[in-house]
């Protein structure tokens, strides 16, 4: 096995998948609160792109436990982003990083260490 064979996953991209019991409620949250619109819609799922990353929200009958951060967004100024999202009505929970919920999923916001 050569080095390229061992790095198969390292060359790929990572995409988050978040379950939602109510797709229309999830769509409204991402649109109205976060200012995001899906770039693709398929039966049972919505695809969003942010920079060079993507995440999908998919219809699920199961509930997300929300006991850990399932997706984090890295931003330049976390205080400014948190303030703007609070202005839009997003309620934050202080965990390790500022976090908020959508469909039971815990989503975090953080910034790179300087």
What are the domain boundaries of the chain?
15-110
pTM: 0.77
Instruction: Tell me the per-residue pLDDT of 43-92, one tens digit each, with 9 for 90 and over.
Output: 889 999 998 889 999 999 887 777 778 888 888 898 999 999 999 999 99
Q: Is the pLDDT of residue 33 over 70?
A: yes
Q: List the structure tokens of 69.
A: 């951060």
| pLDDT mean across residues, the chain | 86
Domain 15-110 fold is 2,3-Dihydroxybiphenyl 1,2-Dioxygenase; domain 1 (3.10.180)
Cα separations in angstroms, 50 against 3, 71, 108: 31, 12, 14
Residues 59-80 as b or e (16 or more Cβ within 10 Å = b):
ebeeebebeebbbebeeeebee
């Amino acid at each position: 096995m050569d080095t390229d064979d061992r790095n198969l996953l390292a060359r790929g991209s990572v995409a988050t998948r978040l379950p939602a019991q109510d797709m229309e409620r999830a769509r409204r949250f991402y649109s109205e609160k976060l200012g995001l619109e899906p770039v693709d819609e398929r039966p049972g799922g919505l695809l969003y792109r942010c920079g060079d990353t993507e995440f999908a929200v998919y219809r699920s009958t199961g509930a997300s436990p929300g006991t850990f951060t399932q997706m984090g967004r890295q931003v330049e100024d976390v205080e400014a982003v948190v303030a703007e999202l609070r202005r839009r009505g997003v309620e934050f929970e202080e965990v390790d990083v500022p976090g908020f919920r959508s469909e039971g999923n815990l989503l975090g916001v953080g910034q790179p260490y300087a």
